[in-house]
Amino acid sequence: MSTNEQKESLDFVRTIVANDLESKKHNGKVRTRFPPEPNGYLHIGHAKSIVLNFGIAAENQDGKCNLRFDDTNPVKEDVEYTDSIKEDVRWLGYDWEDRQFFASDYFEKLYQFAEELIRQGKAYVCDLSAEETRKTRGTMTEPGQNSPYRDRGVEENLDLFQRMRAGEFADGARVLRAKIDMAAANISLRDPTIYRIRKVDHHRTGDSWCIYPMYDFAHCLSDSIEGITHSICTLEFQNNRPLYDWFLAQLPVESHPQQIEFARLNLSYTMLSKRKLMQLVEEKVVSGWDDPRMPTLSGLRRRGYTPEAIRNFCERIGVAKRDSLVDVALLEHSIRDDLNWKVPRVMGVLRPLKVVIDNYPEDQVEHFEAPNLPDDPQKMGSRQVPFSRELYIERTDFMEDPPKKFFRLGPGREVRLRWAYLITCERVVKDPESGEVIELGCRYDPATKGGNAPDGRRVKGTIHWVSAAHALAAEVRLYDRLFLTEKPGVGKDADWHADLNPDSLQVLADCQLEASLDQAQPGQKYQFERQGYFALDPVASSPTRKVFNRTVALRDSWAKIAKKAKK
């Protein structure tokens, strides 16, 4: 491929990076960063940013990506979040090596930069209340009004700012503002606040500071201090870019990173806002940040998602400059796609119905060899599956009065037990009170060992089963979307509570699984044939009771859509 052809296949962010490298704009360097605010757990939207930032660094020689905690807001942050963020980034497969930074490490430098702005006459201490500041900011169509404190002299400003730092004034009494232009068309340039007084402890700097820098001031300077070349952020910061550039242009900085905005990930039937996810946790709608229904990386991991699937998903959706809504079915497709060739098939009965093989000897046990990956039997070897007189099959694999097209079990009907024998249903036992079917009596055909009839008779249905005496009793949790609407909580007066799916969690407490699952380790993944992909829950399982989460069902609506589109 020629350089031009290579460039054509790049997304717009990578194109900018490639052009900058070519023109030696940042001395031929690529430095990116992933800058989470440690005020919650990371979600799949953050993964998009991680994959982009770490990905671009990895694709370029000597490219590096920093992990920077944007911890300028002292009240909402916590070490619990810092730790979980590191765990999640590592789990996704990225390494920041020794480049873990905190914006709070730069507080002194940032303070010095603020004093520098004051000395240049480009920042002033303003005594207006928050309410007055808001009122005098103007609107999209009207300019703002100058603060009466705008023309304070440099000495007075320095003195007041130093006393703000020393703790002489109450929260909200004064702020430091940049002196730019109250008539600027871009509202973010109308003398924005750059420091405010907050007499609260910070989780890293303790009580050393009672003034804290605002995001716009701290972020561009932190980028510059770290020598970031491309500061990639989401679209809502587009209007702040002139301010980002203004601070860097006024101050004696060594490097001027370029801010590039891309569209954030929006996923259908999913909320991606840490604030709202926090509400789900605090209101106990879910069991925690790692509830398998959460779109958090910890939730997805617990549910059985792999880092590869998430990275592939992020690469598949790509980056663009326009907001869009990604179908959650694409995420589900990514995990199926990844697990398909990776995990063994096993048999697990989720809603057991007892079957007695009336003509099978009472104490006999046979073992059938079952390939772990039937589509490629060499790849994963096989296991021995025990068979005996009493079995469990799936309740939904029997119908007392089946329609013609039902190829599973019914009175007098014959079906294939996967890897074992053909059986015919001869007896239906019901609970005398409820009338519910509680047991089936069947006859097996000893000549059909392995599941094939020597006389060539056709048996369409094949069902899974487990031997009752050998089965592992376990709990299985099935998940559905947490929300019933495509854009939960979005729109005028919208409240996500109204969009919740009451049936998002289904607990099946009496499942009977193939004996080999007794060996499952936390997080280990399987396909339960005909039921989906499952992973052993590392949190809910105990040494005596295993709990499996269904990661995803087998039916792939996305693959179907993609197939149709191709036709």
Radius of gyration for the alpha carbons in the chain, expressed in angstroms and rounded: 31
Task: Give me 485's structure tokens.
Answer: 């609407």
Closest CA to 346 of 305, 385, 298: 385
In residues, how long is the chain? 567
Which residue, 329 or 471, is less far from ligand ATP as judged by CB?
Answer: 329
Residue 265 contact among Mg ion, ligand ATP, none, beta carbon within 5 to 8 Å by kind:
ligand ATP
Q: Which of 7, 86, 264, 487 is catalytic?
A: 264
Residue 35 contact among ligand ATP, Mg ion, none, beta carbon within 5 to 8 Å by kind:
ligand ATP
Which residue, 37 or 132, is less far from Mg ion as judged by CB?
Answer: 37
Distance in Å, CB of 327 to Mg ion, minimum? 25
Q: Which of 37, 116, 308, 475 is catalytic?
A: 37
Distance in Å, CB of 198 to Mg ion, minimum? 17
Query: Is the four-CA dihedral 77, 83, 88, 90 of positive or negative sign?
Result: positive
Q: Quickly tell me which residue has 């989401």 as its tokens.
A: 234
Task: Say if residues 513 and 472 touch (Cβ distance below 8 Å).
Answer: yes
Residue 36 contact among Mg ion, ligand ATP, none, beta carbon within 5 to 8 Å by kind:
ligand ATP
Which residue, 234 or 501, is less far from Mg ion as judged by CB?
Answer: 234
Query: Is the four-CA dihedral 103, 107, 112, 113 of positive or negative sign?
Result: positive
User: CA of 218: how far to CAs of 224, 232, 508, in Å?
Assistant: 10, 15, 50
Q: Order of strands, edge to edge, in the sheet holding 193-197?
A: 123-126, 175-178, 193-197, 211-213
Distance in Å, CB of 539 to Mg ion, minimum? 28
Task: Give me 383's structure tokens.
Answer: 């296991």
Distance in Å, CB of 459 to ligand ATP, minimum? 50
Q: Which of 274, 336, 389, 416 is catalytic?
A: 274
Task: Say if residues 101 and 66 touch (Cβ distance below 8 Å).
Answer: yes
Query: Is 109 a known active-site residue?
Result: no
Distance in Å, CB of 77 to Mg ion, minimum? 11
3-state helix, strand, coil in the chain (%, to 5): 30, 25, 45
Which residue, 208 or 324, is less far from ligand ATP as judged by CB?
Answer: 324
d(C-alpha 546, C-alpha 539), whole Å? 10
Distance in Å, CB of 483 to Mg ion, minimum? 22
Closest CA to 469 of 410, 419, 509, 515: 515
3-state SS class at 248: helix
Distance in Å, CB of 16 to ligand ATP, minimum? 16
Query: Is 264 a known active-site residue?
Result: yes
Which residue, 46 or 525, is less far from ligand ATP as judged by CB?
Answer: 46
Distance in Å, CB of 243 to ligand ATP, minimum? 16
User: CA of 286: how far to CAs of 283, 501, 505, in Å?
Assistant: 8, 12, 10
DSSP 8-state secondary structure symbol assigned to residue 471: P
Residue 356 contact among ligand ATP, Mg ion, none, beta carbon within 5 to 8 Å by kind:
none
Distance in Å, CB of 272 to ligand ATP, minimum? 5
120 contact partners, CB below 8 Å, separation of at least 6:
250
Closest CA to 228 of 261, 254, 262: 254
Q: Residue type at 345?
A: R
Query: Is 336 a known active-site residue?
Result: no
- Give the CA count within 13 Å in the CB-facing half-sphere of 522: 8
Where is 440: in which H helix or E strand? strand 437-444
**Binding stretches for ligand ATP (CB under 6 A):** 35-37, 45-46, 48-49, 233-234, 264-265, 272-275
Which residue, 45 or 410, is less far from Mg ion as judged by CB?
Answer: 45
Which residue, 30 or 123, is less far from ligand ATP as judged by CB?
Answer: 30
Task: Give me 551's structure tokens.
Answer: 């990661």
**Binding stretches for Mg ion (CB under 5 A):** 37
Residue 264 contact among ligand ATP, Mg ion, none, beta carbon within 5 to 8 Å by kind:
ligand ATP
Chain residue at closest Cβ approach to ligand ATP: 45
Residue 48 contact among Mg ion, ligand ATP, none, beta carbon within 5 to 8 Å by kind:
ligand ATP
Residue 150 contact among ligand ATP, Mg ion, none, beta carbon within 5 to 8 Å by kind:
none
φ, ψ of residue 458 in degrees (nearest 5):
-90, 125
Which residue, 37 or 445, is less far from Mg ion as judged by CB?
Answer: 37
Which residue, 53 or 372, is less far from ligand ATP as judged by CB?
Answer: 53
Residue 364 contact among Mg ion, ligand ATP, none, beta carbon within 5 to 8 Å by kind:
none
Task: Say if residues 105 and 208 touch (Cβ distance below 8 Å).
Answer: no
55 contact partners, CB below 8 Å, separation of at least 6:
315
3-state SS class at 476: strand
Residue 326 contact among ligand ATP, Mg ion, none, beta carbon within 5 to 8 Å by kind:
none
Q: What are the residue numbers of the active site? A: 37, 264, 274
